[in-house]
């Protein structure tokens, strides 16, 4: 990755950590709540596993768990996305690897956006088991009785859905490209 890409990553993560730190203090101030929301958005998607880790490790102060896990998760995603982008830039749209890679990017981003919107919906029942995740539940909030945590079967199923959707998108694109190629050759 280039130095510029790392600087952009560090700028986004630093701003996200600064704004998210407001979430550790309870306040009725709209500025504090809005600042926390900006930090939450800037740290996506790394803040989702970070929240899970901070809830599981309840005996450790949240900032000591949340910020390192969020930044590390985002760094892994940043490096993976950078490598993926490099592959897409170097290959031709006429190659199947490009089509399936593009399908993976589209399906992954779609699932991330859908799950982010689903996670940000208002909680309607504070003493119920509240499920999060689209199309399968990947996290449950335990309510008063406890039991919150990651639903590993749902998380695996969601990852499988991303791969299946990518294969379907790539296959459709591949089929349409082959038909178009046959039509061009027939003329």
Is there a single domain that holds both residue 77 and residue 102? no
Residue 157 CA: distances (Å) to CA of 24, 98, 133, 152: 33, 25, 11, 8
pLDDT of 172 reads 92
Assess whether 63 and 100 both reside in one domain: no
9 and 64 part of one domain: yes
- The sign one gets for the Cα dihedral 172, 91, 76, 44 is negative
Q: Are strands 149-150 and 139-141 parallel, antiparallel or unpaired?
A: antiparallel
3-state DSSP assignment of residue 140: strand
Q: How far is 80 from 77, CA to CA, in rounded Å? A: 5
**Residue holding tokens 């190629």?**
181
Burial class (CB in 10 A: 0-12, 13-18, 19+), 11: exposed
pLDDT of residue 94: 74
Same domain, 80 and 118: no
Q: Which of 53, 69, 88 is the last residue of a domain?
A: 88
Same domain, 56 and 117: no
160 with 105: CB under 8 angstroms?
A: no
Report how many domains make up the chain. 2
Q: Do 186 and 114 belong together in one domain?
A: yes
DSSP string for residues in 12-77: HHHHHHHHHGGGGS----HHHHHHHHHHHHHTTTTHHHHHHHHHHSTTS-HHHHHHHHHHHHHHHH
Residue 180: the pLDDT is 85
pLDDT along the chain (187 residues), means of 10: 87 90 71 80 84 73 82 86 75 76 84 80 76 86 73 89 92 88 82
65 with 119, same domain: the answer is no
Predicted TM-score (pTM) of the model is 0.60
């Amino acid at each position: 990755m280039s130095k510029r890409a790392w600087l952009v990553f560090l700028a986004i993560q630093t701003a996200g950590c600064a704004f998210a730190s407001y979430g550790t203090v309870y306040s009725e101030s709209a500025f504090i709540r809005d600042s926390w929301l900006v930090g939450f958005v800037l740290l996506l998607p790394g803040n989702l596993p970070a929240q899970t880790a901070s809830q599981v490790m309840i005996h450790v102060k949240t900032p000591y768990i949340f910020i390192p896990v969020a930044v590390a998760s985002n760094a892994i995603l940043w490096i993976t996305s950078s490598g993926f982008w490099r592959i897409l830039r170097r290959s031709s749209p006429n190659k199947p690897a490009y089509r399936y890679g593009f399908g993976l990017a589209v399906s992954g981003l779609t699932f991330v956006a859908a799950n982010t919107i689903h996670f940000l919906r208002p909680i309607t029942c504070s003493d119920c088991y509240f499920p999060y995740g689209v199309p399968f539940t990947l996290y449950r909030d335990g309510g008063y009785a406890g039991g919150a945590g990651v639903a590993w079967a749902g998380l695996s199923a969601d990852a499988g859905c991303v791969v299946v959707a990518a294969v379907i998108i790539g296959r459709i694109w591949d089929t349409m490209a082959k038909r178009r190629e046959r039509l061009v050759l027939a003329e």
